[in-house]
Structure 1
Amino acid sequence: MFVIAHHFIKEPEAFWASAQNALSSIPPHLKLHSVYPSSDLKTGTCVWEAPSAEEVQQLVDSILGTMSKNVCYEVNEEAAIGLPQKRMEEARS
């Protein structure tokens, strides 16, 4: 499933540095597809592929929770426009 993570960032410099450093330690069952920071770096939206929104929520809160409020939710794939191609299902095939 696809999951959106919205980040409302209190400490932009620390947040984006921590997010960049965490890229190499994303668990293999989660896939970060896209990152969309706002021009002022105070908000961001990410597109994940994951078994559940709760798993993404736990991950981003554990890494970034002191620097941002994070809101994660499952995408309604039937109503969505422009989703990336799923990669996790391809890897299992």
Structure 2
Amino acid sequence: MHLGVVHTIRDRAAWDRAFFADKEFPPGFTLFGTVTQDDISRAICIWDAPSVDDLQRTLDEMFGDAAVNDCFVADPARSVNLAAPQTSAAQA
């Protein structure tokens, strides 16, 4: 399922350490893209993940207090240029 995340970055140094760490995401989690604001105060990401709760837990563990992660389910009728979700195909 496609999910979006708005990250409110509270600690730039901790964000950078977590963001640039050599991360392998759990099976079923694919990061399609991310954009960080020029002043490093916010970022947005598009994911394919099993559920919004699973992604929320994963990101909260990854970033800790460095960011507030607001995860949401993407509405396919109001989304543009998204790759086919991998988790849906795996579950079918």
Q: How does 1:12-91 map to 2 (within 5 A)?
A: 12-21=12-21, 23-24=23-24, 26-88=25-87
With structure 2 as the length reference, what TM-score do the two structures score? 0.85
Distance 2:46 2:58 in 1: 14
In the alignment, structure 2 segments of 5+ residues that lack a partner are none
Assess if the C-alpha contact under 8 Å between 1:31 and 1:88 holds in 2: no
Distance 1:47 1:74 in 2: 10
Distance 2:42 2:67 in 1: 9
Assess if the C-alpha contact under 8 Å between 1:5 and 1:56 holds in 2: no
Q: Which one-letter code corresponds to 1:12 in the other structure?
A: R
Corresponding residue pairs, total: 92
Q: Deviations over 1:23-47 (max 9, x none)?
A: 22x1011111111111111100111
C-alpha deviation, 1:88, in angstroms? 4.4
With structure 1 as the length reference, what TM-score do the two structures score? 0.84
Q: Deviations over 1:46-73 (max 9, x none)?
A: 1110111111100000111311111000
C-alpha deviation, 1:22, in angstroms? 5.3
Tell me the percent identity.
22
Distance 1:92 1:56 in 2: 17
In the alignment, structure 1 segments of 5+ residues that lack a partner are none
